[in-house]
């Protein structure tokens, strides 16, 4: 790499390697984008699509994407969205668990990754040009200056969504025992499970909006006529919390075997309260270990200065 860099520097000046990298990247993007963004339609594909039109109308609910005339990113969907159904479903589920439920969430998520990645590359390129203007820079440092900001920009949306997903799961986990107690009170007061879910969603809206939103979706889907078992299983999938999955299993088994819902709720609510206490005790037991390093860094140096400082000063004075 060093002879190549020397040759480019002699031919194009100090910024020769950066110019070559920028020109190659520009031409690669220019040559690739037309094939990705605009594909000519095959006449046979149009004929097959026309023959499958009645079937598509019948299976409209099974489509991966929902087209909209107002969406400016619709024409770039083949580039901004996974074409595999499993990959698309996995990304969509992750975004739903993070709280992003819009129809175009996957498309916007991939667009942000692409845009921030390109923005990071451009920012790194500008920084590299400034560094080259100030003095010679080796090839490895030059590539790191350009590549690291691009990688950070590309990974930033993924980190944000993962962080939001973890925080939302933690909020749902913390709110779930209280919701079970409220649901148990409503069921024992004579309300049905659907009515108790509506009441719990209204009561939890202020303190725990994440779980209240999930219960509200359950109540709306039940009112729309969807099977209760499917509604509860969809809720467990959207939340991604083991406690919710266990609760759904208990409710489904209680409905299948004809047992009392109030008894199942009472036992499961008691277990959730005990589990919450155990989680609090576990966090409290971890606290001394986490504080050890901070305590040593903030307490030991001042203590040593107070205890040993006068002796060191006296020794230095006597030697002087």
Task: Check residue 114 and give its pLDDT.
Answer: 85
Residues of the chain scoring pLDDT < 70: 1-2, 5, 8-16, 18, 25-27, 29-83, 320
Q: Which residue has the tokens 């809206």?
A: 205
Alpha carbon distance, N-terminus to C-terminus of the chain: 59
DSSP-based three-state secondary structure for 59: coil
Task: Check residue 156 and give its pLDDT.
Answer: 92
Residue 218 neighbours by CB distance under 10 Å: 23
Task: Check residue 49 and give its pLDDT.
Answer: 56
Task: Check residue 194 and give its pLDDT.
Answer: 86
Task: Check residue 251 and give its pLDDT.
Answer: 87
Residue 208 neighbours by CB distance under 10 Å: 21
Please give the helix or strand (H or E) that residue 292 lies within, else none: helix 261-319
DSSP-based three-state secondary structure for 99: coil
Task: Check residue 58 and give its pLDDT.
Answer: 41
Task: Check residue 40 and give its pLDDT.
Answer: 55
Task: Check residue 1 and give its pLDDT.
Answer: 64
66 backbone dihedrals φ, ψ, rounded to 5°: -115, 115
Residue 15 neighbours by CB distance under 10 Å: 18
Q: Give the sign of the dihedral formed by CA 9, CA 11, CA 12, CA 17.
A: negative
CB 164 within 8 A of CB 99: yes
pTM of the full structure: 0.67
């Amino acid at each position: 790499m060093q002879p190549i860099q020397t040759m480019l520097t002699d031919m194009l000046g100090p910024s020769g390697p950066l110019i070559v990298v920028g020109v190659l990247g520009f031409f690669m993007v220019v040559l690739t984008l037309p094939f990705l963004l605009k594909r000519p339609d095959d006449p046979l594909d149009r004929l097959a699509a026309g023959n499958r039109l009645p079937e598509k109308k019948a299976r409209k609910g099974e489509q991966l994407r929902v087209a909209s005339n107002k969406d400016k990113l619709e024409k770039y969907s083949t580039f901004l969205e996974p074409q595999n159904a499993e990959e698309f479903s996995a990304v969509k589920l992750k975004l739903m668990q993070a709280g992003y439920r819009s129809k175009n969430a996957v498309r916007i998520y991939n667009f942000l990754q692409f845009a921030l990645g390109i923005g990071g590359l451009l920012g790194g390129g500008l920084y590299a040009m400034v560094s080259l203007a100030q003095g010679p820079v080796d090839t490895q440092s030059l590539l790191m200056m350009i590549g690291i900001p691009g990688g950070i920009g590309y990974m930033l949306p993924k980190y944000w969504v993962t962080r939001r997903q973890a925080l939302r799961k933690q909020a749902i986990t913390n709110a779930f025992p209280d919701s079970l107690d409220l649901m148990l009170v409503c069921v024992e007061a004579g309300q049905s499970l659907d009515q108790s879910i509506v009441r719990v969603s209204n009561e939890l809206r202020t303190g725990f909006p994440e779980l209240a939103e999930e219960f509200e979706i359950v109540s709306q889907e039940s009112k729309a006529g969807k099977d209760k078992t499917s509604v509860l299983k969809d809720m467990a999938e959207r939340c991604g919390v083991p406690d919710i999955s266990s609760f759904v299993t208990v409710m489904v088994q209680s409905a299948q075997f004809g047992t009392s819902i109030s008894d199942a709720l009472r036992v499961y609510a008691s277990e959730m309260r005990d589990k919450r206490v155990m989680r609090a005790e576990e966090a409290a037991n971890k606290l001394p270990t986490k504080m050890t390093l901070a305590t040593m860094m903030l307490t030991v140096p001042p203590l040593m200065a107070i205890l040993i400082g006068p002796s060191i000063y006296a020794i230095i004075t006597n030697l002087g």
